[in-house]
Amino acid sequence: MLLAANVNGACPAIILAACNSSVPILRLLIEAGADVDASWVAYEVHLASMFQPLTFVQAIYMPPLLAAAARLKEGTEMIAALLEAGANVNYLANAGHSALPMAAKQGYAETVKMLLGAGAQVNVTDTYGRQPLYFAARQGHTDIVSLLLEAGADVDKCGDVWEKASRTRRLASDGQTPVVIAASNGHEAVVRRLLEAGADIERRAEDGRSALHAATKCGHTHIVQLLLESNAYIDRTKASCKGPLASAIEQDNQAIVLMLCKAITERASRDALAAPMAIPVNVSDDSGDQPTASIDWLDVSVAV
């Protein structure tokens, strides 16, 4: 009866079941021969309206597994049923979307565990070069960040593909690494976890911003302190990118200005103590003068 009703038509019933958390109906459709990797190629507006967290474009051509990963907070039973039926855990929908980055973005840790256990590619990227770790870091899902890192996620991977938008061309993620986007969004626990995993604290976004630049510009005092304690470089590296101190001054953030100035002073003192000192030698040459070692003072000026 279900097959006669064309369950695999332009509006696959299995996707509706996945959207509505109906495991019994999903299993019934699978037993009837429904395509577990079916995609919805018609009625896109209706589908998009069902996925509040998603954009219109993201919703088109979404298979059941991706729909369940995006829609369901407690959808592990639904995910399990689809995987048991042979759903492709690494199915790439439009714009390179797949189930793992979708679940990571939504913050569904149990779903992420299940997908990783089923062989989901931890470093899969979408059309714009963004991987699951980027989405988890951006949203502040520390538990998922840890899961992905333990599964071998590239801690310094950044988006690197151009997109066209509003007649301009720009990087989808502006080349931001997970630690830069986490610092920008104020996720201190995520920043700390990424640093523990060996994230490059000086890896720059396309415009030259580091994690310290991002945290300073957005006024995240605790993250600035964390990065300074991790010896983040304070100077700028690109003429197009202002230094952290200049950003803090522009934001009129006195706490961060004082924090940066203190760090600059402490580092200057530390470097000065480590520099060679002029030490008299108790041996005279033929002229009777005492030779001394030269002082190599470090230039501690900081571009703001």
Domain count, the chain: 1
Residue 68: helix, strand or coil by DSSP? helix
Q: Which domain holds residue 126?
A: 122-162+174-273
* Closest C-alpha among 85, 105, 84, 102 to residue 93: 102
Q: What pLDDT was estimated at residue 21?
A: 61
Q: What is the pLDDT of residues 3-31, one digit of tens each?
A: 444 454 445 777 767 766 667 777 788 88
Sequence-distant (≥ 6) Cβ neighbours of residue 63 within 8 angstroms = 15, 36, 37, 38, 39, 87, 88, 91, 93
Distance CA(15)–CA(197), nearest Å, equals 38
The mean per-residue pLDDT over the stretch 137-159 comes to 95
| Assigned domain for 256 exists | yes
Q: What pLDDT was estimated at residue 56?
A: 39
> Got the DSSP string for 119-178?
T--TT---TTS--HHHHHHHHT-HHHHHHHHHTT--TT-----EEEETTEEEETTTT--H
Q: What pLDDT was estimated at residue 81?
A: 85
Q: What tokens does 77 get?
A: 């039973």
* Closest C-alpha among 95, 30, 85, 84 to residue 61: 95
Residue positions counted in the chain: 304
Q: What pLDDT was estimated at residue 288?
A: 52
| Assigned domain for 295 exists | no
| Assigned domain for 302 exists | no
Q: pTM for the full model?
A: 0.76
| Assigned domain for 200 exists | yes
Q: How far is CA 12 from CA 28, 61, 89, 173, 188, in A?
A: 13, 11, 19, 33, 43
Q: What is the pLDDT of residues 203-256, one digit of tens each?
A: 888 777 899 999 999 999 999 999 999 999 987 555 555 789 988 999 899 999
pLDDT at 166 exceeding the cut of 60 = no
If phi > 0 it is left, if psi is from -120 to 50 it is alpha, else beta; for residue 6 that is left
Q: What is the pLDDT of residues 173-199, one digit of tens each?
A: 567 899 999 999 999 999 999 999 999
User: What's the CATH number where 157 sits?
Assistant: 1.25.40.20
| Assigned domain for 189 exists | yes
Q: What is the pLDDT of residues 48-64, one digit of tens each?
A: 444 444 443 444 456 77
The DSSP code for 238 is S
Angle at 152 (CA atoms; ends 147, 158), nearest 5 degrees: 95
The DSSP code for 10 is S
Beta bridge partners of 280: 292
Q: Which amino acid is at 53?
A: P
| Assigned domain for 74 exists | no
Residue 117: helix, strand or coil by DSSP? helix
* Closest C-alpha among 179, 237, 253 to residue 245: 253
Class of residue 25 by CB neighbours under 10 A (exposed 0-12, middle 13-18, buried 19+): middle
